[in-house]
Every structure is written in C-alpha cells, then in structure tokens.
C-alpha cells in the first residue's frame, strides 16, 4: 500500500499548528472573531512556508458550523469534508496550468453560482503570478466586485510579478522563512508521531538544509525515514544528502587562512570523491565563512548552526582572517554554489573559488624605473617615442604596443594574456601606490612626463580600466608650463577624456605623481596638423625652413616628407 508523504499526512489542521507565521495567524483569527472577512487575500512568501495550508484553514474557518471562537473545529461536516478533500465549495486552481484568459473567464462564469453546501465559495489560486496580463485583467472586475458568497485567496512566491491593480484589491500577508529552531521542534514532534529514531543533531542539520521551508524539511525527514530502519545518525544523514563533514569544512578554512593551496585542493577533491555534492558543500563553506565574518564584526547575530562547544574554535579561526578576506571568500564560494551544476568536473567551481580566495590581490606598487610590480611596463615603442620627445625629433605617445609588455613576451614574440574588459563606471578599487621622487624642480619636460607615464597608468588601472585605455591611446604632444597637451586620433576618444569625472581623475593622478597642480588639454589629429602647419608657416616667414634652393617649404609638403616618406620631385 502506498504511504502518504509526511508533509501531507501531518499538514496543520488548526491555526495553532501553523509554525513560524504568528503575524498572519493572529490577524486572520481576529478577523474571524470580529466578522471582518475580506473578499480577497494575497499570500506571498517563499515556498513551503504555509501559504496553501493557511488558505485551506481559512476556507474551513469561514465555513465551520461551530461558534467563531472554536473555528475550525475539525468535527463538523464542513471541516471533515475539507480535510478529506471533497468539499465542492473549496476550489483550488493551479495558476501555472491555467494561465490563459479563457480559464479566467470560465472561473468568472462559475463565481456567480451559489455555494453547494457551505457558506462561502473559496477560490485558492496557487502560483497566481503565472497568469498572463490578459488573464489578470479579466480577473480584475471580479476581484473588485465579487458576489457576497465568494472569497479569493491568491498565493504566490513572486508577488512582484502581479499587477499592482490586482494587489490593491487584496489584503496582503507576507509569509516569512521559518527559523531553524522552529523547524527542528516541528521535526521532533513528527519523529515522535512516526516513531522514528533520529539523533537531535541530525534533525538540526535537516532544518538547516531546508533553508526556511517547512515542507522541504518534512520531505527530507521522510526521505531519511526510509534510509535505515534502525535509526538515523548524523553520518548516515550526511551520506544520504551528500553533505560534507564539519571537519572537512574546518580543514579547508584552515588551509585558506594559511594560504596552503595544495592542502585545500586535496581536501576538496577527497570530499568530492567520497560522494559529497559540490553545490551542497559550497553552501556549507558559505555558511561557515559567514559565521566567521559575523564573529569578526561582533555583530551579535545569532548563529544557531554553531554549538557552544565549537564557538571558541570558530573565534580562533576567525582571528586568522581579515574582514576583507572573509568578505571576498564568502562571495567566491557563494558564486560557486550558484554555478556548480555537476558537469564533467563537478569540483571545478569549488577549486577555482578556493584558489582565487588564496591568491593575494595584485600588487599595484610601482618599482623604480617606472615598472609596476604587476608586470606592466612601458613597451619598446613607448620608450622610443619618449626618447624622440626628449630630443624634439618626434611626437611622444602613450599608445599601447599590440604585443604584451612582459619580458617573456618581448623575447619570444608569443602573444600574452588578454587584458581584462573595462570595469563599469562607478566600480573602483583601492588606489595604486606609486613613487613621486626624482622629479626635478622647474618646468616639466616631455621626457620627465614619459618617464612617469607607467606610474600614471598604474594609478588609473584600478580606478577605471576604460580610462587607462584612453590614456594609452593618446599622444603627448606638448607641455605648456603646467598644461599637458594630449592628442587623440578620434573625436570620440577626445570627448570621452574631456568628461569631468575622467579629466579630474587624470589631473589628480598627475598632480599626485609630480607634486604640483597639473592640467590636461585634449586635441585631435586635425588640430595637431593645423598647429604644425601654422608653426611651419611662421618658421618659413622667419627664413628658418627653406629647401636647398632657398625657397620656402610648404608645411603640408614637409609633413608628407617627414611622416609619410614622400619625395619632392622637381618639375
């Protein structure tokens, strides 16, 4: 004979048996006592928190034949019919299966008929957010002016998807997640009724795995009841549910605090080989690291999953981390818990989260000579252009070399790793550390600026990667006292650099590096050529720029010869 699931067999039959929703139960009971029954209710909250159960209790209570103070009695014919699922005036509709407007129109036609045997017709629409907009609009008129014998109870896990016009016509009750202690107490009562032998610690672990859902907890207990008829231990429960041992979690956390990647990876792989579910284990790591973070913050938040015996050990372990380390580790393992889907390498997400948490943040300190410790340095092209700027033979530029700047890449010519994509605006890391000594007094020269150009890039990189790319793409064409003139190939790049935020970041970085207030002026190639032509014309007028015959040289011709390799042919 097929047995009945525990969550159905022991579904609460009175308001007093509903766990964790006292605010909802109290309001509904007072409404029953005062006779203030509303025509439409909205029950919103996470799955398994008692929304449908409370809707059925409300249907029993409004139709119970006993006095208001004793409803529901579970003894009269109405209550018995509801408990046995045969009351015709309690209509339960699955919103996920009846999403169309035709389904709602059919419901509207039936609402007008009088109840068969009860006082009220109660319509419980589960997962109501699955209805289409047309179906909601068809339901609006009925919700606004229903017949006096009809009550609607809308249940949903996603209230934000329901039209505001529908919500405004209902009394809304928000169901909350149920606490670990309340779930554990409920499971103890069910275990006694079912005559199950199970360790209290195992019940607590079940409650933690349920994440606030009473139905999930009862389903897990039902599953474990068939695992071993001789009794359920913590070890058996971990094996059945794929949960890692606390010792493994502690060992991995200890390896993380020491920066021992080999020990941590070995523990992760050993746990997975023993059959631990990677996603479940990632959640355990998040829970443990979160507890350490809360302990370091002295937040006073209760940690029900931590026993009094384990608390001193956790405090000692928390002292080995900084708050920033714990925040980063929680984020990484939380992401691993969401992404782990049991692929061909199920432990890969855990391994990557651990390795990334172990690796120290990239150092941004600029070493002497203009090379930062992160391995980024001026490319050969940058150095050549800087020397040209110093000698006045060419235009200095900060344009990035298409080849990587690491020593190995420069020696063998192989492509290096791609640069990370630009960070979105508003995302900032800590400012880089750099050195500003060695800058001579007096007016700055292009050579001095180019010597410190890698420092400028290293300052901008953690603040705004897109801004660093803009600075790399420009050319330093002139230094006018405290104004640095930057040339851009495209008007779009110039406009982006001239935005107030970006201009201010560059000017502040230059000011910090050189110890004096510096400003930038942005031009484009067209302006640079015009300026060069005007300068050439001025020199020609003074007799400085002439050809071999003593004739003045056209500035455009001179630019074509110098930059494009053109030749002047006598006619």
Q: What band does 229 get if pLDDT is binned at 50, 70 and 90?
A: low
DSSP 475-519: EEEEEETTEEEEEESSHHHHHHHTSHHHHHHHHHHHHHHHTS--E
Q: What is the C-alpha separation between 232 and 237, in angstroms, rounded?
A: 7
Dihedral sign of CA atoms 243, 246, 251, 253 in order: positive
Strands 371-372 and 366-367: antiparallel
Residue 382's SS3 state is helix
Q: Give the tens place of pLDDT for each residue, 57-73.
A: 999 999 999 998 888 99
In the predicted model, what is the mean pLDDT of residues 108-129? 91
DSSP 31-94: HHHHT---SEEEEE-STTSSHHHHHHHHHHHHH-SS-GGG---S-SHHHHHHHTT--TTEEEEE
Q: What band does 186 get if pLDDT is binned at 50, 70 and 90?
A: very high
Query: How would you write 123-142 as a 3-class SS string?
Result: EEEECHHHCCHHHHHHHHHH
| Domain 366-529: CATH superfamily, name plus number | DnaA, N-terminal domain (3.30.300.180)
Q: What band does 536 get if pLDDT is binned at 50, 70 and 90?
A: low
* Percent of the chain surpassing pLDDT 70: 74
Q: Give the tens place of pLDDT for each residue, 272-301.
A: 887 788 888 888 899 889 989 998 888 777
Strands 396-397 and 475-480: antiparallel
Residue 449's SS3 state is helix
Domains 6-174 and 180-241 share a fold: no
Dihedral sign of CA atoms 459, 463, 465, 469 in order: negative
Question: DSSP character for 366?
Answer: E
Q: Give the tens place of pLDDT for each residue, 520-534.
A: 999 987 666 655 555
Domain ranges of the chain: 6-174, 180-241, 246-358, 366-529
Q: What is the C-alpha separation between 20 and 18, in angstroms, rounded?
A: 7
What pLDDT, on the 0 to 100 scale, is given for residue 271?
A: 85
DSSP 183-220: HHHHHHHHHHHHT--B-HHHHHHHHHHTTT-HHHHHHH
CA 364 to each of CA 179, 240, 315, 340, 436: distance values in angstroms, whole numbers, following the listed order? 45, 48, 32, 32, 14
Q: What band does 568 get if pLDDT is binned at 50, 70 and 90?
A: low
Q: Which residue has the higher pLDDT, 569 or 180?
A: 180
Residue 122's SS3 state is strand
Q: Closest by alpha carbon to 332, among 350, 314, 313?
A: 350
Is domain 6-174 in CATH 3.30.70.260, yes or no? no
**Architecture of the domain whose range is 180-241:** Orthogonal Bundle (1.10)
Q: What are phi and psi of 173, to 5 degrees?
A: -125, 125
CATH topology of domain 246-358: Zinc Finger, Delta Prime; domain 3 (1.20.272)
Q: What band does 22 get if pLDDT is binned at 50, 70 and 90?
A: very high
Strands 483-488 and 150-156: unpaired
473: its two tokens: 């793409």
Answer for the pair 54, 43: CB distance below 8 angstroms, yes or no. yes
Answer for the pair 249, 288: CB distance below 8 angstroms, yes or no. yes
Q: Give the tens place of pLDDT for each residue, 132-176.
A: 888 888 888 888 888 899 999 999 999 999 999 999 999 999 999
Q: Give the tens place of pLDDT for each residue, 321-357.
A: 999 999 999 999 998 888 766 566 778 888 899 999 9
Q: Dihedral angle at the C-alpha atoms of 162, 166, 171, 172, nearest 10 degrees?
A: 10
Q: What is the C-alpha separation between 104 and 127, in angstroms, rounded?
A: 14
Provide the β-strand partners of residue 523.
487
C-beta neighbour count of 119 within 10 angstroms: 15
Q: Which residue has the higher pLDDT, 188 or 406?
A: 188
Q: Of 340-349, 354-363, 412-421, where does the model show the most confidence? A: 354-363
Q: Which residue has the higher pLDDT, 431 or 50?
A: 50
Q: What is the C-alpha separation between 252 and 206, in angstroms, rounded?
A: 23
Q: What global pTM score does this model have?
A: 0.57
Answer for the pair 370, 451: CB distance below 8 angstroms, yes or no. yes
Treating both helix axes as pointing N-terminal to C-terminal, what angle do 234-241 and 214-225 enclose, rounded to 10 degrees?
A: 110
């Amino acid at each position: 004979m097929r047995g009945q699931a525990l969550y159905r067999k022991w579904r609460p039959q009175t308001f007093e048996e509903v766990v964790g929703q006292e605010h909802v139960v109290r309001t509904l009971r007072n409404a029953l006592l005062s006779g203030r029954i509303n025509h439409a209710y909205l029950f919103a909250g996470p799955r398994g928190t008692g929304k449908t159960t409370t809707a059925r209790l409300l249907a029993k209570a409004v139709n119970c034949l006993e006095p208001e103070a004793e409803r529901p009695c579970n003894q009269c014919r109405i209550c018995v019919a509801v408990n046995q699922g045969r009351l015709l005036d309690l209509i339960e509709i699955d919103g996920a299966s009846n999403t169309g407007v035709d389904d709602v129109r059919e419901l509207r036609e039936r609402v007008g008929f009088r109840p068969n045997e009860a006082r009220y017709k109660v319509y419980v629409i589960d997962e109501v957010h699955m209805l289409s907009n047309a179906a909601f609009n068809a339901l609006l008129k009925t919700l606004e002016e229903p017949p006096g014998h009809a009550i609607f109870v809308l249940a949903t896990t996603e209230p934000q998807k329901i039209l505001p016009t529908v919500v405004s016509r209902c009394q809304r009750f928000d169901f909350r997640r149920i606490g670990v202690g309340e779930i554990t107490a409920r499971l103890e009562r069910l275990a006694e009724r079912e005559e199950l032998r199970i360790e209290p610690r195992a019940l607590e672990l079940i409650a933690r795995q349920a994440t606030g859902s009473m139905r999930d907890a009862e389903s897990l207990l039902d599953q474990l009841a068939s695992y071993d008829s001789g009794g359920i231990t913590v070890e058996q429960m971990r094996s059945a549910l794929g949960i890692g041992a606390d010792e493994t979690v502690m060992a991995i956390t200890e390896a993380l605090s020491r920066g021992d990647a080999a020990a941590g990876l070995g523990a992760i792989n050993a746990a997975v080989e023993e059959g631990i579910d990677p996603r479940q284990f990632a959640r355990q790591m998040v829970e443990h690291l979160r507890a350490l973070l809360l302990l370091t913050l002295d937040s006073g938040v209760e940690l029900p999953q931590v026993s009094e015996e384990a608390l001193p050990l956790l405090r000692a372990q928390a002292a080995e981390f900084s708050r920033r380390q714990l925040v980063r580790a929680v984020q990484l393992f939380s992401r691993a818990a969401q992404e782990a889907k049991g692929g061909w390498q199920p432990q890969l997400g855990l391994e990557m989260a651990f390795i990334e948490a172990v690796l120290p943040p990239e150092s941004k300190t600029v070493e002497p000579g203009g090379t930062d410790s992160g391995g980024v340095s001026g490319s050969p092209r940058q150095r050549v252009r800087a020397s040209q700027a110093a000698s006045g033979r060419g235009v200095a530029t900060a344009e990035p070399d298409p080849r990587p700047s690491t020593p190995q890449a420069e020696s063998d010519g192989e492509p290096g790793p791609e640069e990370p994509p630009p960070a979105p605006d508003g995302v900032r890391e800590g400012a880089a550390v750099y050195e500003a000594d060695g800058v001579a007094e007096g007016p700055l020269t292009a050579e001095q600026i180019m010597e410190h150009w890698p420092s400028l890039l290293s300052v901008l990189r953690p603040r705004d990667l897109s801004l660093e790319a803009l600075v790399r793409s420009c050319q330093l064409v002139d230094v006018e006292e405290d104004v640095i003139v930057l040339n851009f190939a495209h008007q779009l790049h110039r406009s982006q650099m001239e935005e107030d935020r970006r201009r201010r970041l560059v000017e502040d970085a230059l000011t910090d590096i050189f110890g004096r207030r510096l400003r930038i002026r942005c031009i484009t190639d067209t302006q640079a050529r015009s300026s060069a032509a005007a300068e050439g014309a001025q020199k020609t007028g003074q007799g400085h720029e002439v050809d071999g015959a003593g004739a003045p040289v056209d500035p455009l011709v001179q630019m074509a010869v110098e930059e494009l390799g053109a030749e002047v042919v006598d006619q």
